[in-house]
A and B are shown apart, each in its own frame.
Chain A
Amino acid sequence: MSLATDSPVNSSSSDDLAAFLDAELDSNSLGSSPEKEAEDKDEDEESIDEEAENEEARDDKDLERIKRRKTQIVETIQERPGPTLLGNLEEKTDMLYCAEVSLEMDNCPHPGSLGGMCYRCGKRLEEESGVTFSYICKGLRLGNDEIDRLRNTDMKHLLRHRKLYLILDLDHTLLNSTLLLHLTPEEDYLKSQADSLQDVSKGSLFMLAFMNMMTKLRPFVHTFLKEASEMFEMYIYTMGDRPYALEMAKLLDPSREYFNARVISRDDGTQRHQKGLDVVLGQESAVLILDDTENAWTKHRDNLILMERYHFFASSCRQFGYHCQSLSQLRSDESELEGALASVLKVLKRIHNIFFDELANDLAGRDVRQVLKMVRGEVLKGCKLVFSHVFPTKFPADTHYLWKMAEQLGATCSIELDPSVTHVVSTDARTEKSRWAAKEAKFLVDPRWIETANFLWQRQPEENFPVQQTKPEENFHAKQMKDQ
């Protein structure tokens, strides 16, 4: 009996297919292009007929033998008088031959695997080896030699297109997220201001109710990504989990033109609480990193451009111990054109320009870390600093992070006052050194002058960082608020 016509519950497509198959089976045709038929396309009819004729002309015994062989291979198929096989029998004999040949190909070094099979020889690999690269595709593992090979070819390809690698952190670097639960009453107004999730390309504040979250993109981020994508192959690398990383990637890059599959989450890392370039398929000498957390990159500090943290929500300020009003509570935001992303974009452009156009040595021998160091060293070039009331007593001054930061920015640091000193960095205007600066008409600045120069990659106007009698905790948003 034919089901296709009798069956009461049936989808139309399976109707057609069943009818088609019935007809095909009745007419005893053998040759076909199976996957085409499954999709119910009726092309190549001619060749099918031709093949069918060929098959009929074939010696019956021969046919029977091949069929039996086939049946043994598919041990699962129930033995019954002559199971009807669809498909070109001639191809099947070839196939068996090929299968044997590829099994013999066992001097394959198994460079990498997908789904437990070597992707070069197709063999099932017993033990798992190599590093997982699930973010590229689920179940992908690569051996060390293969990683090196991919890095080399990728690097050549990238340099030819005048591009370098850029690794971008999410939280506090490109955006700020909060749980809806942690919104303060003063932030309640945000819920009505959230942008549509239908077209995220223009928006900056998103309510992700299904994740119980709200996310604010950092001002300038759209322009930043667009312009950076012309100079860099970009990755997202976050300590957040994979679903979060992918949601954020959707907000930042809805048409998948910037990151594609290059979204790395903590689920992809090889070490807890650490980010590493070992899961990035790029040469370390061509990688720049933007992140607000220096400690995540202990092995790659030379690649890192440290970002000033973007705190939009009150919960984010609280989490980092700031007892001030957040940008959201003040109904304000970081400056679009003078904020962190605009400043860092200028730096990236400069580094890119030096790397490709100003260095004399062979392209393959260049190192972006050297360029980064050089550009950083220009920021406070020509400044000679003396610190006052900045380090704890008996603290070895030249190991303090501000001292080191100033030196990296190109300044000279000293503990002695002399006429060549240009700046006194102090937290208290009443100290002896501070008074000396006033008397000698030297710049007297707050330590934030160094930190801000470090974040903005630019020497800051000294008058914006006056030294006060008491430590100015409420200064936190001074710069961010300036343009409002």
Chain B
Amino acid sequence: MFFHIVLERNMQLHPRHFGRNLREHIISKLMKDVEGTCSGRHGFVVAITSVENIGKGLIRDGTGFVTFPVKYQCVVFRPFKGEILEAVVSMVNKMGFFAEAGPVQIFVSNHLIPDDMEFQSGDMPNYTTSDGSVKIQKDSEVRLKIIGTRVDATEIDKNISQSRPKWDPAGSHPSRFFCIGTIKDDFLGVINDPTTI
């Protein structure tokens, strides 16, 4: 789920940036530092939408660096238990399947796939109904419900490119959130089948 919230952060700036473009420097550094990071408290920062206020700088003794308290608005994303998400299947195996929705990786075990769907191995492993009408395989889009979440926060102080995802069981894409999901309920399941496009 997405939220629009206000956060605060102390930005440390090198003295070489003190000049006409100080504000721009602070803002661009803020975006670089914050967007794409994830904290367990707030979730995944999708984008900064505006800067509300940049407070008075505090000069650090010795280094000349200045710390500015910055108040900004941003859009964050966090998955919740019970939330319905649409996700793209990234890997299928006999244990179930993995799907991705933005920064979230979801595992749906075969316990939570409808009983009439059976695993088929092969070079394109999939779960298929006995009549073959519904098939879940890599790249299928599914609507699922989250029943368990786990958030691995990357420290918000790290740069996006440096923050390495800690949790990636399917070994496919870096994900900031890992969830357990189900498609064993009304209105859940495949919403489009890649083979029929």
The chain A residues found within 8 Å of chain B, CB to CB, are 1-3, 6-10, 14, 17-18, 21-22, 25, 32-39, 73-74, 76-78, 80, 83-87, 91-92, 94-99, 102, 111-112, 114-124, 136-140, 150, 154, 157, 161, 233, 255, 257, 260-261, 281
> Which residues of A lie under 8 Å from residue B87 when comparing CB positions?
35
Contact among B32, B35, B78, B148 for A122, CB-based, below 8 A: B148
Residues of B84-128 at the interface with A, using a CB-CB cut-off of 8 Å, are 84-87, 93-96, 98, 101-102, 107, 109, 111-112, 118-119, 121, 123, 125
The chain B residues found within 8 Å of chain A, CB to CB, are 1-7, 21, 24, 27-28, 31-32, 35, 41-42, 46-51, 75, 77-78, 80-87, 93-96, 98, 101-102, 107, 109, 111-112, 118-119, 121, 123, 125, 145-148, 150, 167-171, 178, 180
B84 and A91 form a contact (CB under 8 A) = yes
Which 4 residue pairs are nearest across A and B when measured between Cβ atoms? Answer: A122-B148, A122-B147, A98-B82, A9-B28
Contact among A8, A74, A233 for B24, CB-based, below 8 A: A8
Q: Tell me, rounded to whole Å, the shortest Cβ–Cβ distance linking A77 to chain B.
A: 5
A120 and B77 form a contact (CB under 8 A) = no
* CB pairs A–B below 8 angstroms (26 shown): A3-B27, A3-B51, A6-B24, A7-B27, A9-B28, A9-B31, A25-B4, A34-B77, A35-B101, A74-B78, A76-B41, A77-B5, A78-B5, A83-B4, A83-B5, A85-B3, A95-B84, A102-B81, A111-B111, A114-B109, A115-B169, A119-B95, A120-B111, A120-B112, A121-B148, A260-B125
Closest to A9 in B: B28
Contact among B85, B101, B150, B168 for A117, CB-based, below 8 A: B150
B169 and A138 form a contact (CB under 8 A) = yes
B24 and A86 form a contact (CB under 8 A) = no
Q: How far is the CA of A404 from the CA of B20 in the complex (A)?
A: 89
Q: Tell me, rounded to whole Å, the shortest Cβ–Cβ distance linking B179 to chain A.
A: 8
Q: How far is the CA of A96 from the CA of B82 in the complex (A)?
A: 7
B31 and A140 form a contact (CB under 8 A) = no
> Which residues of A lie under 8 Å from residue B98 when comparing CB positions?
137
Q: How far is the CA of A139 from the CA of B28 in the complex (A)?
A: 38
B102 and A114 form a contact (CB under 8 A) = no
Q: Tell me, rounded to whole Å, the shortest Cβ–Cβ distance linking B154 to chain A.
A: 16
A119 and B180 form a contact (CB under 8 A) = yes
